[in-house]
């Protein structure tokens, strides 16, 4: 056996994807952190998005069917003696008004904890899966994942996601929404083409052509079988000209003809045309000639993420928060070196000052994300960038954080400079009293961490904290001239001292 971190290989892991068009199970046995054999790959036909995208609710019948399907999956997981499982739900469940009803039913009747994930978390997990199959080298690539309810378009490299956007334009959603107003012959196809023409990608992505265009999801895999070829690496390559030919053929066939002539399942035959048009649109915007189809997706990303987490000695959330916050920062061209230095110092201060602030693990996570993203507003303007940071973060998603927690992250980042938190500030006032208190404590720590990298040169190697009664001594360790950092720290520590009723003193070590 091979033991790494907290896991002994081989280890069995499973993932469940509760999507808008089906439930999917993957059970795998890992021999190391990236190589595994599939034990079970199963699909339960269920279109949860059918009513959600029209009425905003999952029908009672669909909830019953989902519980039945997940009971079947739970039985198979038990038979395989699997103890590591993550079950995720995507756009249909997260957008439905009664998604929590499904989550509670599933927990009560199957024991499965179903997690509603954001579009950004989908993109992160899919990037993991694709990176395990495709050699990115030193280049940048576009990944487009098309599900039943949304399409995620991401610019990626081997390190992570550089830019990502989630569009509410999945294959099932398009079918449900447009077919209502397109019942006349030919009307649906015209509406579909016009609607998809509104899909955009940033001009920066269009001007710098990516190394390749990667497509994931069941529909593009099926299109790849119909019009692509498999290369020596086991990747399917679908020429865009072949995709155009397939779209014309599909548009001329009824659903029944598609099933009969192309051997498509019933729940694939109707959505494959909208899917083909979405991929065609994006390929046209990117100016590429082929789509690379690795044959992996969300399920594979989840199991890879699970095994990676089992090996890590970090806090369970730390890697996820790091990756997602850095990816968001890169989207807005932040100073990554400075951001990570401030985040390191902020966590060090948080841990050493625990007897004063008495905050919990979730607060530590909020501080970590806010520290990484505190300067993101410089993308808009250096002037008042703290307020721009507040806006960008408050309008963004990070995996593992609720909407309210995102507002807290935004407020902590906003107060890394200038004014202290005040009730006349509308974004701060919208939080409840307990949340405001946590923001005040966390922002007072972030201000000191930011001061210790005043010049963005990583002069500070670390900080040692001593707490003696009402006196806090910060011993700053560094081998360079820290005069400016000392000045900034003296200024920015005043709020911390006032907040906790202590006197803050400084010592510069290593000089």
Model confidence pLDDT, tens digit, residues 443-482: 999 999 999 999 898 999 999 999 988 999 999 998 778 8
* Structure tokens given for 121: 């978390």
pLDDT at 183: 52
* pLDDT over threshold 90, residue 319: no
Which residue is it, tokens 């978390």? 121
State the pLDDT at residue 123. 87
| Predicted pLDDT of residue 482 | 86
Q: Which CATH superfamily is domain 2-117 in?
A: ATPase, nucleotide binding domain (3.30.420.40)
Check whether 204 has a pLDDT greater than 80. no
d(CA 354, CA 216): 45
Q: What is the CATH T-level fold of the domain 314-509, as seen in this structure?
A: Hypothetical protein af1432 (1.10.3210)
Rounded alpha-carbon distances, angstroms, from residue 6 to 14, 30, 452 = 17, 14, 34
Model confidence band, residue 165 (pLDDT cutoffs 50, 70, 90) = confident
Tokens of 373: 């993203």
Q: Edge-to-edge strand order for the sheet containing 236-239? A: 161-167, 151-156, 141-146, 213-216, 290-293, 236-239, 229-230
Asked if residue 174 has pLDDT above 70, the reply is: yes
Is domain 133-295 classified as CATH 3.30.420.150?
yes
Q: Are 436 and 421 in contact (CB under 8 A)?
A: yes
Task: Report in angstroms the alpha-carbon separations of 380 from 369, 397, 455.
Answer: 19, 19, 21
Q: How confident is the model at residue 2 (pLDDT cuts 50, 70, 90)?
A: very low
Average pLDDT of the chain to the nearest whole number: 90
Give the model confidence (pLDDT) of 126-148 as tens digits: 999 999 999 999 999 999 999 99
pLDDT of 198 reads 82
In this structure, the strands spanning 22-30 and 11-18 are antiparallel
Q: What is the pLDDT of residue 498?
A: 93
Q: Going by DSSP bridges, is the β-strand pair 84-89/22-30 parallel, antiparallel, or unpaired? A: unpaired
Q: Could you tell me the pLDDT band of residue 65, with boundaries at 50, 70 and 90?
A: very high
pLDDT score recorded for residue 207: 63
Q: How confident is the model at residue 202 (pLDDT cuts 50, 70, 90)?
A: low
What is the pLDDT at residue 181?
53
Mean pLDDT of 143-160: 90
- Each domain of the chain, given as residue ranges in start order, spans 2-117, 133-295, 314-509
- 4 pLDDT band, cuts 50/70/90, is very low
pLDDT tens for each residue of 324-333: 899 899 889 9
Mean pLDDT of 212-223: 97
Q: Residues 303-315: what's their mean pLDDT?
A: 79
Percent of the chain's residues with pLDDT above 70: 95
Within this chain, domains 133-295 and 314-509 share the same CATH topology? no
Go through 336-372 and write b for each residue having 16 or more CB atoms within 10 A of its CB, e for each that does not. Answer: eebbbbbbbbbbbbbebbeebbebeeebbbbbbbbbb
Query: In 3D, which of 494, 445, 483, 481 has the Cα closest to residue 465?
Result: 445
**Which tokens belong to 367?**
């501080």
Q: Lowest mean pLDDT of 61-75, 166-180, 323-337, 346-360, name the range.
A: 166-180
Predicted pLDDT of residue 1? 37
Our measurement of the distance from residue 362's CA atom to the centroid of its chain's CA atoms, rounded to an integer in Å, reads: 18
Beta-ladder partners of 238: 291
């Amino acid at each position: 056996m091979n033991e790494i971190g907290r896991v002994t290989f081989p280890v069995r892991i499973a993932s469940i994807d509760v999507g808008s068009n089906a439930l999917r199970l993957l059970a795998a046995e890992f021999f190391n952190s990236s190589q595994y054999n599939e034990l079970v790959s199963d699909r339960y036909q269920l279109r949860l998005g059918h009513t959600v995208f029209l009425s905003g609710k999952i029908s009672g019948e669909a909830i019953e069917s989902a519980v039945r399907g997940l009971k079947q999956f739970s039985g198979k997981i038990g038979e395989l003696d699997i103890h590591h499982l993550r079950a995720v739900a995507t756009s249909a469940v997260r957008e439905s008004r009664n998604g929590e009803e499904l989550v509670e039913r599933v927990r009560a009747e199957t024991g499965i904890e179903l997690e509603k994930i954001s579009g950004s978390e989908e993109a992160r997990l899919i990037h993991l899966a694709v990176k395990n199959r495709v050699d990115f080298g030193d280049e940048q690539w576009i990944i487009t994942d098309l599900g039943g309810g949304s399409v995620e378009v991401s610019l990626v490299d081997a390190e992570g996601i550089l830019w990502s956007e989630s569009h509410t334009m999945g294959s099932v959603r398009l079918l449900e929404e447009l077919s209502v107003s397109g019942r006349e012959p030919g009307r649906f196809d015209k509406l579909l083409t016009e609607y998809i023409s509104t899909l955009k990608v940033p001009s920066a992505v269009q001007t710098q052509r990516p190394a390749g265009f990667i497509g994931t999801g069941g529909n593009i895999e099926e299109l790849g079988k119909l019009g692509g070829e498999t290369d020596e690496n086991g990747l399917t390559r679908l020429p865009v000209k072949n995709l155009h030919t397939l779209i014309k053929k599909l548009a001329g066939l009824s659903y029944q003809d598609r099933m009969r002539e192309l051997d498509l399942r019933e729940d694939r035959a109707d959505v494959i045309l909208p899917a083909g048009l979405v991929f065609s649109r994006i390929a046209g915007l990117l100016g590429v000639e082929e789509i690379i189809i690795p044959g992996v997706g969300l399920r594979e990303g989840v199991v890879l993420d699970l095994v990676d987490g089992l090996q890590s000695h970090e806090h369970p959330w730390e890697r996820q928060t790091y990756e997602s916050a850095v990816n968001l920062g890169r989207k807005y061209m932040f100073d990554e070196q400075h951001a990570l230095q401030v985040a390191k110092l902020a966590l060090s201060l948080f841990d050493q000052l625990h007897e004063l602030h008495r905050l919990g693990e979730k607060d530590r996570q909020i501080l970590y994300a806010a520290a990484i993203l505190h300067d993101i507003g410089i993308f808009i303007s250096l002037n008042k960038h703290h307020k721009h940071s507040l806006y960008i973060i408050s309008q963004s998603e990070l995996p593992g954080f609720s909407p309210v927690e995102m507002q807290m992250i935004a407020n902590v980042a906003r107060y890394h400079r200038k004014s202290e938190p005040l009730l006349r500030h509308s974004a701060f006032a919208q939080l409840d009293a307990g949340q405001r208190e946590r923001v005040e404590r966390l922002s007072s720590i972030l201000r000191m961490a930011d001061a210790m990298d005043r010049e963005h040169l990583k002069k500070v190697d670390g900080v040692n904290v001593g707490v003696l009664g009402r006196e806090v001594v910060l011993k700053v360790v560094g081998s360079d001239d820290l005069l400016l950092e000392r000045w900034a720290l003296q200024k920015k520590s005043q709020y911390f001292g006032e907040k906790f009723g202590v006197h803050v003193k400084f010592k510069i070590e290593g000089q």
